[in-house]
Structure 1
Amino acid sequence: MKTPQQISSELKQFTGSTVLYKHWLGFKYTEGIKYLADETNCYWLLDAIFSHQTKQFLSNPNLREFQIWHLRVENNSGILTCEWDTNQEVLRQEIEYTDFPLDRIKLYLAEEVLILPSEY
C-alpha cells in the first residue's frame, strides 16, 4: 500500500493522456484518473461526479464545458464540491464515510472527460 505522499507525487507525473477509459454512465476519464481510482479504490468518486451530470445540473451554461471538482477529507468523512469557476460553488455533497487516503484532491471535468489538473 502506498502512502498518501507517494500517491500525490505519482499523480503529478500525469501530464497528458493518450488513452481514455469509458465509465458506465457514458463519460470518459484519463490514465491519471484511472491510476487515482485504482490506487485509492475510489471508483465511487467517479460515480459521484458523473451521477451529478443531469439535465438540470447542466442547464447552467457555465457547467457544460468545464467543471472544477474538489474532495476534502477529514476524520474519514468528506465534502465533494463542484465549482464552475474558482470559488464559484454550485454543488456540495457530504460524504458520511470514506477511506480515501488523501486530504484533498482537485479534478476537472472538461467536455465530458474527467482529468487531473496536471493533464489539462
Structure 2
Amino acid sequence: MSATLADAQPETITGATLAQFIGTTRYYRYTMGLILTDGAAYLVRNGAAWLLDIVASARLVPAVRRAEFECWTLRVDLTKHCAEVVCTDGNGEREANILYRQPVGYTDFPLAELKLYVVADSDPGKVVMLASEY
C-alpha cells in the first residue's frame, strides 16, 4: 500500500503539472499519521514538503484532529514572497469554519494559490490529496 518518497531532482511546480493528478496509483506514508496521494507526494518531492509539514503539525490542534474533512488553502503573494495557510472544515472561510491559520514569512512557492483536501480514512490516518484528486 505505501511507497517511499525517494529523493530525485526537483521539478518546478506548475498548475498544468498539478492538474494532471486526477487520482492516485499509490499511497505514501508521511508523518503524524498522514497518507499522501501521488499529487501530494509530488509536492513533497519538488520543494513543498514544508507545506505538508504545516498540515502534519496541525494534527496537534484538537479541532483539526477531529475534523472528518479539511480544506487547506495556500495563498501566496508572489511579489512579496510571503503566504498564508488556512484550514477550514470545507464550508467556506467564515471565522466559524476556520480550524487553523498560519502565516508563512517567506516562500518561493511558484503558484498564487493551492488547495489540498485531507479526508479521514478507515485506516488510522488521514489522506492528503490535491483538490484535483478528490
Common topology (TM > 0.5): yes
Q: TM-score range by the shorter chain?
A: 0.7 to 0.9
Q: Give aligned pairs, total.
A: 114
Q: Does 1:78 align with 2:83?
A: yes
Taking every aligned residue pair, what percent have the same amino acid on both sides?
A: 35
RMSD: 1.9
Superposed CA offset, 1:78-119 (max 9, x none): 100001022232221011111111111010001111001111
Structure 2 spans left out of the alignment, 5+ residues = 1-9, 121-125
Under a length normalisation based on structure 1, what TM-score does the superposition of the two structures give? 0.84
Structural mapping, 1:1-120, within 5 Å: 7-39=14-46, 41-54=47-60, 56-58=62-64, 61=66, 63=67, 65-74=68-77, 75-84=80-89, 85-87=91-93, 88-111=97-120, 112-120=126-134
**Unpaired stretches in structure 1, ≥5 consecutive residues:** none
TM-score w.r.t. structure 2 length?
Answer: 0.76
Q: 1:55 to 1:96 in 2, by over 3 A?
A: closer
Q: Which 4+ residue blocks in structure 1 deviate beyond 3 angstroms?
A: 1-4
